Chains A and B, each alone.
Chain A
Amino acid sequence: MSGIRRKAWIVSIAAAVSLMAGVAVQADEPFRTLDEIKESGSINIGVFSDKSPFGYVDENGEYQGYDVYFANRLGEDLGVEINFVSTEAANRIEYLQTGKVDIILANFTVTEERAEEVTFALPYMNVALGVVSPEDAVVESLEDFPEDQQIIVISGTTAETYLEKNYPDIKLQKYDAYAEAKTALENGNAAAWANDNTEVIAFAVENEGFEVGIPSLGSQDTIAPAVAKGNDTLVDFINDEIVALAEESFFHKDYEETLIDTYGEEYENTLVIEGGLTDVPEDALETETEA
């Protein structure tokens, strides 16, 4: 096959793919309303299956964790069976937009970009960035961070974007997987590791000789359930649940059942959001959920 013909094919394939993408934008979102879910007798909830202690599978094959604990309660109050779907960070939005799951409860951080694609309910957990470093050389501030040193980040995380934007002079050491990043930090490949503070706190708790020098960096974000864009009946139900559950301090109980072993008591009030009430104003989110 000649080079020119090969090129022509590549171009036509690319055209076909982009055509599909174009059509996709116009297609209706096929989500299920609250009544349809109740009628069917089961709800599909997307959770992580390998992010302990938020969503994981225990040795008996049962889904467990902070997110799952809430999912179970939602299923119970809806009176339907829960069908847990194992999701990955990269396909959470896709699952909602194609209606393959009804709710995503997979440690989903609320961001403006994501709020354009899906509808977030009220938040149930706080998250910010954190920086963990060895005890003997704790990094407590990123201002005047030494030029000859590096910070570990995981590609595609909010930590990577935040540091690149706000501290362009700091050299980053990027890894794809959590395991690699953790090993690199343990081996002393870099001065510190920046990630969601839940992750770095857990790391410091689990590994002797490390300390979270910066527990909260950048903007305070929240974790919230998400449903397909425009699925108002379902998001209203979830919001009512979250507000009502505050009376029984549901998310504190959730924390004590699932997270306390990892984070200890001291982070309970930092991490838990009860009744969807945060101290941080959330303009984008408010309009989302009110709509």
Chain B
Amino acid sequence: MQSLGIDVLFKGINFQRLLGGLWVALRISLISVAISIVLGIIMGLLMVNGNKAVKAVCRVWLEIVRIMPQMVLLFVVYFGTTRVFGWNIPAEESAIIVFSFWGTAEMGDLVRGALISIPKIQYESAMALGMPTGTMYRYVILPQTIRRMIPLSINLITRMIKTTSLVMMIGIVEVLKVAQQIIEANRRTSPNAAFGVFGAVFLMYFCICWPISRLAAALEKRWSDEDPDSRRHGRKKDRKSSKKKTAGTLQTKAVS
């Protein structure tokens, strides 16, 4: 059997280059994820509570994100803004803008979905206890919303990390591009380098995304352990028990 290209990984500074590329991909995705979470929560609240015009703007934004491939968005922001407005946004900033634009819309939709899935009685109970709107969201609605959002947002976050491979189209050399460069530079001496190099990239993405999804699973488990009723019974009971439970939470919060 021929070499599987593992040796190519350690030729010169190839491995550092791959790690450097991974850091580029991570930097772009983590900054974008952070921005998306903050703006996404705001957008979600607006999509539920805003007036008609605000809701319409949010829907159009979401539709644009869904219809347009991310690659088109990257081209529009990186090349399009230079053509039309003469702005010269650097490649990495363009990528962060596009990924945040995408992440915020999808996160907003997740927040919206989670918010409207909270039974009306939760709002009514909080109001009946005389809570101002801010307090109601802070202590009653958002904690439950975030819990429901975790699985879906983790899916979004890992998707964003993996989609950073597109930024090579605007000249950013991230981990996958480095991998292609290494494979191509060594095609003659080790034709099977693709196996070893892409294998290494796979492990790198895995090492990043797996802990994130483990964290999500751990959080989900912890929260469902706190709330054993909802595990045992079906959906219908879930409503009642969560009402009971939230009322309990309310009391302790109100005291503290």
Contact = CB atoms under 8 A, between A and B. Distances in A.
B169 interface: yes
B177 A49 contact: yes
Interface string B77-117: 01110111010100000000000000000000000000000
Given A86-B171, A88-B169, A100 B12 contact: no
Given A20-B84, A52-B187, A179 B194 contact: yes
Interface string A39-55: 00000001001111000
A13 interface: yes
Nearest to B15: A59
Contact of B185 (A6, A20, A59, A86): A59
A90 B169 contact: yes
Contacts of B86: 27, 30
Interface stretch (B42-50, B58-66, B136-144, B226-234): B58-66
A141 to B, nearest CB: 30
B255 interface: no
A95 B86 CA distance: 14
B76 A20 contact: yes
Contacts of A52: 184-185, 187-188
Interface residues of B, number: 38
Contact of A61 (B13, B78, B83): B13
Nearest to A94: B79
Contact of A50 (B13, B184, B191): B184
A1 interface: yes
Contacts of A49: 173, 177, 180-181
A56 B82 contact: no
B253 interface: no
A59 B13 contact: yes
Instruction: Tell me the interface secondary structure of chain B in the complex.
Output: helix
Interface in B17-65: 17, 59-60, 63-64
Nearest to A19: B84
Interface in A39-80: 46, 49-52, 56-61, 64
A56 B169 contact: no
B168 interface: yes
Contacts of B17: 57, 61
The winner among A49, A51, A179 for most chain B CB atoms within 10 A is: A49
B196 to A, nearest CB: 14
A50 B63 CA distance: 35
Contact of A30 (B13, B78, B82, B180): B82
Contact of B188 (A20, A97, A262): A262
B188 A50 contact: no
Contacts of A50: 177, 180-181, 183-185
A64 B186 CA distance: 12
A156 to B, nearest CB: 14
Given A24-B83, A97-B83, A51 B67 contact: no
